[in-house]
Chains A and B, each alone.
Chain A
Amino acid sequence: MNFSTFRSVFRPVGSITRFGQATVPRQNAPSIRPSTTPITGTSSFSSTANLQKRKRGGAPTDPRIKAIRYFLYHPLTPRPLHFSRLRYLRHWTIHRAWMLFLRKRRRAEELELERQYNSMRAACEHLRLMDSNGMLVSEAEAGGQGPDAMRLGVKGREVGRLYRAAMIKRGVYGSVPIEYARCQTDFPSRDGWNHEWTRE
């Protein structure tokens, strides 16, 4: 493909007209910019489609480029939204309702997470202060946490074994099975749930 067809696209629009008008005396041109000696030999200023156009009716422009230009500089853009008074009020009402809706939904989600976190926290705290018999001990009785002798509860019972096991983070993040990455869709799968799955 002839790349000169693209050149006119990347050039600013204003420059097209400027080169089109023969305001610059052509005789002086070679001395100003000798490096860009034209192939055509008539003008040093450009070898663009514009010049070619003047000479031989122009190089064919890609219709896609034409289309892009046409729609980019379409007279109808940018399109303003004009509302009448009542239409604006209706829009305002809808907007307010939507904002309120979002806020309520976010709040509900937040509260749910908080509930779940608190439930989890209560369970973990219970584990922490639980001895091997399953009885709750006080903070002082529990003593320091940890398995060495100093950390055992004052009564000699082991306190919080399950808690320590529960707090281990190793392997937790690596154990997520790939099947769990299935995302929700708008419509269910054609096969439905795989009830017949068997472990090999």
Chain B
Amino acid sequence: MKLKLHEISKSFGPVKANSNINLTVDRGEILGLLGENGAGKTTLMNILTGLYKPDSGKILIDNKLREFHNPREANKNGIGMVHQHFMLVPVFSVTENIILGEEPTNRFNKIDLENAKNKVLKISSEYKLNVDPDLIIEKLPVGIQQRVEIIKILFRDAEILIFDEPTAVLTPQEVVEFFEIIKNLKKTGKAIIFITHKLQEVLEICDRINVLRRGKIVGEEYPKKTDKKKLAQLMVGRKVNLRTSRKKMEQGEVLLEINDLSILSDNKEHVLSNVDLKLHKNEILGIAGVQGNGQTELIEALTGLRSVSSGKISYFGKEYKNFSPRKIHQLGVRHIPEDRQKQGLIGDFSLTENSILNTYYEEKFSNNITLNWANAKIEAKKIIEKFDVRTNSENISANKLSGGNQQKLLIGREMSRSINLLIASQPTRGVDVGSIEYIHNQIVSARNKGIGVILNSTELEEIIALSDRIIVFFEGKVIAEFPSDTNPNIIGLAMAGEN
């Protein structure tokens, strides 16, 4: 099938989320849709899948005008979408998940699982997806769960497949496998739209790239005739420095030392076992690994959010274990949490209120009874100015800022005070390219000033770009350590547990 969007526009109040968008994707073609957060990618796809109605414009499938009022109608017309966050019921089996909403029934209105299972098996083998229809979703790795989502839309006979940031949750190896699957789908004549903000991936897999900025298509490129620099410039609207310059530095003295650290989960399983590591001044230690291999727990333990079962942590040579978050903060440890909306900021609080989240009790902001809002305001303004937070007022609530600006506010709050150790977790997740550049520079300059940095990221590219030393977590253990100039493929293998 051939999909054509003609002059699609959609506004939310004064905001033009999409204006006059023209886009086509043909059968057997992979179209990359590249754009920063807030560029209008999601709105466009929601129009395409029937969640929003466009203000104007037409959707044509095989040159016939179509209109969808809900996702089901879009489905019937052959459009299927794999969302970034999977829509699966964890306790259901693969087959049960796939038929959910369209359960095939027999004469007695009983669900015909057997029949459905066979169809799942057939799809699975046709596209080399290799999924066992009887397994329970929550026991499957993320990469397989994603394949279940793919089967789900193929089960509904989708011919136009939309993938929203499909690689965000995958390991490098899973990404390779995922690309194979996409290529297979392409061979069988499916039309594919691949939404992402990762430049490398569109260059690698797409036949054609459309770049979206501020609701408009600002460029159409072909992978063979373009490069990362050019794409980034189109995406952001200005020149972007993709690689942070980082000069070699001598390691300083030991700042943080962890010996034989173990953490038990609530049901007494080891989420972290016998971890040893050292961090020096003037050093960025990158923690690579697929999410859920103990990195989060280590960071929570270091920041006082989780208690440690056994082992030793010393900081400047002094015992540092199971301290409260406040005490740790007072020692000059700054934490950029992995989920800024869940942990680092309070969305409904104003920027002023957020900028004193972990210092509100200090003399500067409080006399123990009342808060000094004047000083808090000054603090907020200082952060906004110094860390380039784009906002017109410090009085608006934090959830009105874009992801990049939220992150800059958070990083600004943590870095604008005296600091010895920076623990940064996913510092650029969901952040636009322009802000990534800025945040990376901040982290490197902190390290140049003598600060020790622990950088936890699932983006291997980010780890390699910034780290002086890289360790890999797998199943709660440190299974490998690499110097900064290691080949990404080797690190990727370690992340998958192969050594």
Q: Do A and B bind each other?
A: no
User: B interface vs A, CB < 8 Å?
Assistant: none
Residues of A with Cβ closer than 8 Å to B? none
